[in-house]
Structure 1
Amino acid sequence: MSLGKRELKTAQNKQAILKSLLSRMSCEDFDLIKISDLCNDAAVSQASFFNYFPQKTDILIYYIQLWAVEMHWQITRVQKLTGLAAIEQLFADTAEICAAQPQLMAEIVSFQAKPHKSISASSLGAADKLVAYPDCEGISDINVEDLKALLSLYIQQAIEQSELPKACEVDNLLVSLCGIFFAVPTLFNLRPLNEIKAAYHQQFSLFKYGAAGKYV
């Protein structure tokens, strides 16, 4: 895909800012990280920063969008998983992030828990996806950009594949899965990877058999 110089530069700048934030979050609290430091790290002016991210928390939204696209590509295009297997793999991959970047996951959980009047982040452009994942063929075609969209898609697949009863209500199951997604990093913060993975696996097993049993 051919990208214009302006959109390519914009994507590069946004991801340089994101890279700086992720690096600093390994040793600094999110609230204490200065926008001026992010701009210096990324060699981006503050005017450009606020053009890309009106608020610092918008960088977290950008990370979540890129994460969702990459997860869906890996799970569906590489591992060829759908339905319940896709959800289980999503949790296993999330455990890796929890162990490697506990501060990042804690901040995402905290951000999601806070009340927001509205979240009006722009959708990812093709340049954002291709700059972030240049070796992932076809990733620019993926438009699933948040946890809710990922899980809703996989729940619907599970129902269509008879892994879950057709009487299941997608929205109710979505609430349960989101609860697992955010609760495990909260309760197992700073714990070893094997414990986080085990917790996700156990909670998903309870969900899977509980959901199936309820509608039998």
Structure 2
Amino acid sequence: MTFFKLYPKKEDLLIYYMRVWLTEQIIAIDRAGLRGFEVVRHLLQGVARESAHRPGMMPSLISFLSEMKMHPRMPELSEAEVRLLFPGQEEQGRVSPNLFLVFLHAMQEAEQEGKLRTEVTVDEAVKVLFTIFYGSFLTAQQFASADIYGFYELHLRLIERS
């Protein structure tokens, strides 16, 4: 069996990549005990780092998601994949990640900590975070900037209390 028989379409591989990457991020967030905007910054720093190593991955993912008009359901991993990809973290590795829930919990924590702007609801903040996650990346590319994280920070200031 070849790799391309498992993932006959590029889109399948993109979703698999996102599943693994997001699970790794969630495990790191939990290990570090991050909360609120720290969680969001961790994810955005991860995107910026990954884009430096794999420059075409995020644009391909954004293009695919815009065609789907929805966030894809993450694939389940086999027990062997979980053990290989997340040694010592198998329980968390088995859970299919949900970016919406990550953003929701982070913004609930930010609100509790008084770090979310008072005029922004948690629901609005979650929507804005999706816009920031994908849109700020595209904006950085539009301006031919290598400082992707700088664009993320610029946009986070719109919802974070200083």
> Where on the TM-score scale, by shorter chain, does this alignment land: which range?
0.7 to 0.9
1:45-84 correspondence runs (5 A): 46=5, 49=6, 53=7, 55-77=9-31, 79-84=32-37
1:85-124 correspondence runs (5 A): 85-116=38-69, 119-124=72-77
Look up the match of 1:172.
124
Look up the match of 1:138.
89
Tell whether the 8 Å contact from 2:76 to 2:96 is kept in structure 1 after alignment. no
Counterpart-to-counterpart distance in 2, 1:75 and 1:166: 25
Deviation per CA, 1:28-48: give whole Å up to 9, x if none. Answer: xxxxxxxxxxx3xx4x7x3xx
Tell whether the 8 Å contact from 2:132 to 2:155 is kept in structure 1 after alignment. yes
Which letter maps to 1:114? E
Counterpart-to-counterpart distance in 2, 1:125 and 1:154: 29
**Residue 180 of structure 1: CA displacement?**
0.7
Counterpart-to-counterpart distance in 1, 2:121 and 2:80: 36
The 10-residue stretch of structure 1 (196-205 or 143-152) with the greater mean CA deviation from structure 2 = 143-152
Counterpart-to-counterpart distance in 2, 1:83 and 1:125: 31
Distance change >3 Å, CA 151–CA 129, structure 1 → 2: farther
Q: Any unmatched runs of 5+ in structure 2?
A: none
TM normalised by structure 2 equals 0.79
Deviation per CA, 1:82-131: give whole Å up to 9, x if none. Answer: 11111122111211112221211100111111135894553334433321
Determine what percentage of the aligned residue pairs are the same residue. 22
Distance change >3 Å, CA 125–CA 169, structure 1 → 2: farther
Counterpart-to-counterpart distance in 1, 2:74 and 2:96: 14
Look up the match of 1:155.
107
Counterpart-to-counterpart distance in 2, 1:131 and 1:191: 36
Deviation per CA, 1:122-171: give whole Å up to 9, x if none. Answer: 3334433321233xx33532525132232122122223334337885433
Choose 1 or 2 for highest CA Rg: 1
Which letter maps to 2:128? S
Which letter maps to 2:10? K
TM normalised by structure 1 equals 0.62
Counterpart-to-counterpart distance in 2, 1:54 and 1:117: 21
RMSD: 2.9
Look up the match of 2:153.
201
Tell whether the 8 Å contact from 2:36 to 2:106 is kept in structure 1 after alignment. yes
Which letter maps to 1:62? Y
Tell whether the 8 Å contact from 1:66 to 1:129 is kept in structure 2 after alignment. no
